[in-house]
Structure 1
């Protein structure tokens, strides 16, 4: 990368400006990375780059002060934006395609004296590209294209040469436009949200953009807010819903000295957190990794098809030379050279893959690269982390066991009255149950929320306590042994217990359970039908709630509970050693080792940032049916690629025979070849998966 590249604004109006720089014409520059690098900025709406002219057009919110930041980024592009080992170029645009088509159409009507110079001038870029390719890479498709043009010019068949050039330009444009469409969607899906956070600055709380946070900032997090940084709690206590981070369905207690990770939700309480890991550089590195996986990688099938295509080019060239040696006909040789297996074989794969990624993204499934798509179509074993994937990670009240002379409704009304203004997930479950029964809640006073323990309140001047056994028995000294037998039975069913006391005595035991996703059962059946022959559930929770969930899902073949993150990764490794191809579905930081070690890592929509980074597939909608859709698209893509390959081989082999035997002319040969290529591309571009059936 050049030092301090000159980037100049050449045109500007409110909300839109164009910049130019020689660095933008660098063949090693990755346009997709650069446009995403700028589009990731808040207030930027659209970025368009033209490497041919070395310019970038940026559209942004005219009321936002974002231009300086854009210019700083363009003048300091990271090394990841340059790929010297894989130069890229922008393909022909629609104007070029139209120009070449028009030039071919008018060629027969030009004076004969002008047709030659006109056609030679049009062919120079193709001829130079073919010569350069021959010297640097050997016999490739560019050499065939140049040979056909050269032979047509040598035979003074100028219309044929120019028509072939127009057809090649059209084929290249179709590939470029299809790829660009899919890439634009991916970049939009990866655009980060412009989050804001509260920090202490000079003794006061101020609201800033998340990318302005600095290491060492004191970040303030209150009820209902997401923790925006990785940091150390320096004061305050809170109950944190860390389901997406730890995989635990119950909230965790955060207090001074405890490290917290971004993504956790403050259910109750308030924290002052010293930021340890912040900055737009970390965010941009994550975006860069996403883009690198999504836009730069090739699947094994694509590498294989490229290798096959390259090997067939010398075959075509050799047949053309053989035909000329046997017949002495340059026309037949040119007809043979106009037929190239590699066009359809090479182009169909990226078009089908990008189109599949595009339609998957439109339907809420982000596939981070061609390898993820290919692997998803071939895996046979699917592993689920329980919490947040097969279950919602939300609690619902399932049992009320009143003591003394209380009724269930009386107990529920008392508990809901005490919990009414408590933001804890347990409180929400109790209130939801009371509302469903249309219960009138008693007036309360002197409410005291004890973080991560429970709530104390006065109802009709009587003290009501609702919370954990630890809170009721150890903190308040109220015995709970009288319900031990019932408590054990409820725990055996995988339920969380809630105790309630009134005026110093235990009056009720309640039970709650994490809710199974309504679509989980049908999704597992559909996944089995799609070819997964082994479904596994893993969890860090205790065995009782895990097996209670498993009892509701008859399609599971294997269940493990009480696991640490490294245990999950070991199970993935063991299944792979058995010869299985494994996909893992998770959403927490604790799932990252397993997501990385699986053949395909799949993250739920509300997954932690680290899990989203580690996964190759992200379900953008909070619905397991996205798995079925992703599997369908992956397998449908494999079928499309198989059909495209053998169609290309069959059609082009037939054309070679016809061209070699003189049955078709050079123009007809080129027209049929390019028509078949475009047809195969159109077939590949229609690859959408069986969406309608799955979404019904």
Structure 2
């Protein structure tokens, strides 16, 4: 365990004394690399001779985010003791989604659009090449249309798009379907990118808990990987450590910061027999905890699972738009056939097929909802689904169960009122600041 003492702290700055900095340069290097991964840390200084770490946080951060970052700084002090340099560089601050293959998603439509534009300005591209490029770029649309027929037993918007692309290619009109495919696939990629951003912002409750934990085995304290902890293990937690499991205290008393899990800014005292939870931080004391739940079964893990499975696209406006759009497929198809037969002009029939009522909403609504979820998560608010955001429009009263949800948890001067007119408020503030110098008490 690495010993430390918080010497000074205010809302956007904290200074910590860490004796180990003066005697272990490798530890200081690992700590520096860990601190560099924290997003809201705007600046930090490690002074080896003074055995001191000074951290400054971004002024744009919310109070909840600041409290979370303080916990991560204290956790990094302990984690640097265990991690290799490579591990420090790779310590995750978010759950990473699989990377989007931009070439696979956008490459075919981009090539098709480029060839179509070239043909439009007179370049002599052969017709079979143009047709092949357009149809190849439309493969994802064909797949979604076939899935709608096989799974939902109905003709959907993608069926109209696939039919319009095929008829355009048959009519040797290549630019319009290429441009349409670019818009459709580009919209899908934008939606996926926003979804990945939402995951990065919201799924950090179990991040950087540390790779190792101390447990009692056969009467001895041993260090094991966190993932190797099993139900019934007795986990030993020291000040500055994040609790890696849910369980009950069997020995010790500790001051625990639960802000990351509950939003409560004031640490709570927990004693023998009381329950504690993963992702919370032990500020003071030493605990021996009997493991009840680990990993995704902990309370923090359940929250992460819920956020991962959140039905983002389950919104009333999107469902309504999709329903109306799908109901309009057959009438649009019949109208297009009628216009084509009456006019004898295939281009007019195709023009009606491209009247897609659902694609715009299908892309814009999820993107908007995901952006809202991302912004809320960055400010410490986890919203279950897109439908919940829509319901917020009908809310006229919000009930909070505790004051800690609303207060900042940091004392500060909000105003100065004088009783003697000959004494200026600035003078009183200067006297108070002089008296406060050298004191570490938060008030």
Fold shared, TM-score > 0.5 on shorter chain: yes
Contact 1:239 1:251 (8 Å CA) reproduced: yes
Q: More strand per residue: 1 or 2?
A: 1
CA distance in structure 2 between the aligned counterparts of 1:361 and 1:240, rounded to whole angstroms: 23
Residues 313-357 of structure 1 show CA distances to partners (whole Å, capped at 9, x for unaligned) of: 233223212322432322322222233222223332223323444
- The alignment status of 1:186 with 2:209, answered yes or no, reads no
CA distance in structure 2 between the aligned counterparts of 1:320 and 1:182, rounded to whole angstroms: 35
Relative to structure 1, is the Cα distance of residues 437 and 106 closer, same or farther in structure 2, using a 3 angstrom cutoff?
A: closer
Q: Give the length in aligned residue pairs.
A: 319
Relative to structure 1, is the Cα distance of residues 116 and 240 closer, same or farther in structure 2, using a 3 angstrom cutoff?
A: closer
Q: CA RMSD in A?
A: 4.4
Contact 2:315 2:390 (8 Å CA) reproduced: yes
CA distance in structure 2 between the aligned counterparts of 1:351 and 1:91, rounded to whole angstroms: 21
- The alignment status of 1:105 with 2:117, answered yes or no, reads yes
- The alignment status of 1:176 with 2:199, answered yes or no, reads no
User: Which residue is 2:338 aligned to?
Assistant: 322
Please, which runs of 5 or more residues in structure 2 have no aligned partner?
Answer: 1-83, 91-97, 413-431
CA distance in structure 2 between the aligned counterparts of 1:231 and 1:366, rounded to whole angstroms: 24
Relative to structure 1, is the Cα distance of residues 203 and 116 closer, same or farther in structure 2, using a 3 angstrom cutoff?
A: same
User: Which residue is 1:93 aligned to?
Assistant: 105
Which structure: larger Rg? 1
Contact 2:190 2:367 (8 Å CA) reproduced: yes
SS at match of 2:158: helix
User: 233, 247, 256: which one pairs with 1:231?
Assistant: 247
Contact 1:211 1:279 (8 Å CA) reproduced: yes
Taking the TM superposition and a 5 Å limit, the aligned residue runs for 1:60-139 are 63-64=86-87, 93-107=105-119, 109=122, 114-116=126-128, 118-119=130-131, 122-123=134-135, 129=143, 132=146, 135-136=149-150, 137-139=153-155
1:303 Cα shift?
A: 0.8
Relative to structure 1, is the Cα distance of residues 205 and 368 closer, same or farther in structure 2, using a 3 angstrom cutoff?
A: same
Relative to structure 1, is the Cα distance of residues 264 and 150 closer, same or farther in structure 2, using a 3 angstrom cutoff?
A: closer
Relative to structure 1, is the Cα distance of residues 151 and 165 closer, same or farther in structure 2, using a 3 angstrom cutoff?
A: closer
User: Which residue is 1:374 aligned to?
Assistant: 390
- The alignment status of 1:336 with 2:352, answered yes or no, reads yes
User: Which residue is 1:143 aligned to?
Assistant: 159
CA distance in structure 1 between the aligned counterparts of 2:117 and 2:325, rounded to whole angstroms: 31
CA distance in structure 2 between the aligned counterparts of 1:263 and 1:62, rounded to whole angstroms: 23
User: Which residue is 1:292 aligned to?
Assistant: 309
Relative to structure 1, is the Cα distance of residues 301 and 201 closer, same or farther in structure 2, using a 3 angstrom cutoff?
A: same
User: Which residue is 2:179 aligned to?
Assistant: 167
Contact 1:144 1:317 (8 Å CA) reproduced: yes
Residues 195-227 of structure 1 show CA distances to partners (whole Å, capped at 9, x for unaligned) of: 233323454434444333222222223445554
CA distance in structure 1 between the aligned counterparts of 2:132 and 2:280, rounded to whole angstroms: 66
Relative to structure 1, is the Cα distance of residues 164 and 387 closer, same or farther in structure 2, using a 3 angstrom cutoff?
A: same
User: Which residue is 1:305 aligned to?
Assistant: 321
User: Which residue is 1:506 aligned to?
Assistant: none
Taking the TM superposition and a 5 Å limit, the aligned residue runs for 1:244-283 are 251-252=268-269, 254-255=271-272, 257-262=273-278, 266=282, 268-279=284-295, 282=298
1:179 Cα shift?
A: 1.4
SS at match of 1:340: coil
CA distance in structure 1 between the aligned counterparts of 2:401 and 2:189, rounded to whole angstroms: 39
Residues 597-656 of structure 1 show CA distances to partners (whole Å, capped at 9, x for unaligned) of: xxxxxxxxxxxxxxxxxxxxxxxxxxxxxxxxxxxxxxxxxxxxxxxxxxxxxxxxxxxx
CA distance in structure 2 between the aligned counterparts of 1:293 and 1:166, rounded to whole angstroms: 34
Taking the TM superposition and a 5 Å limit, the aligned residue runs for 1:204-603 are 204-223=220-239, 225-238=241-254, 251-252=268-269, 254-255=271-272, 257-262=273-278, 266=282, 268-279=284-295, 282=298, 286-293=303-310, 296-361=312-377, 366-392=382-408, 437-438=435-436
Contact 1:232 1:259 (8 Å CA) reproduced: yes
Residues 271-320 of structure 1 show CA distances to partners (whole Å, capped at 9, x for unaligned) of: 222222223565665433211116x5421111111112212223322321
CA distance in structure 2 between the aligned counterparts of 1:286 and 1:148, rounded to whole angstroms: 44
Relative to structure 1, is the Cα distance of residues 322 and 199 closer, same or farther in structure 2, using a 3 angstrom cutoff?
A: same
Relative to structure 1, is the Cα distance of residues 151 and 245 closer, same or farther in structure 2, using a 3 angstrom cutoff?
A: closer
Relative to structure 1, is the Cα distance of residues 344 and 168 closer, same or farther in structure 2, using a 3 angstrom cutoff?
A: same
Contact 2:249 2:274 (8 Å CA) reproduced: yes
Contact 2:188 2:363 (8 Å CA) reproduced: no
Relative to structure 1, is the Cα distance of residues 200 and 99 closer, same or farther in structure 2, using a 3 angstrom cutoff?
A: same
1:99 Cα shift?
A: 0.8
1:104 Cα shift?
A: 1.4
1:362 Cα shift?
A: 5.7
CA distance in structure 1 between the aligned counterparts of 2:406 and 2:148, rounded to whole angstroms: 56
Relative to structure 1, is the Cα distance of residues 273 and 336 closer, same or farther in structure 2, using a 3 angstrom cutoff?
A: closer
Relative to structure 1, is the Cα distance of residues 246 and 146 closer, same or farther in structure 2, using a 3 angstrom cutoff?
A: closer
CA distance in structure 1 between the aligned counterparts of 2:144 and 2:285, rounded to whole angstroms: 69
Q: How does the TM-score come out when normalised to structure 2?
A: 0.58
CA distance in structure 2 between the aligned counterparts of 1:312 and 1:284, rounded to whole angstroms: 43
SS at match of 2:196: helix
Q: How does the TM-score come out when normalised to structure 1?
A: 0.39
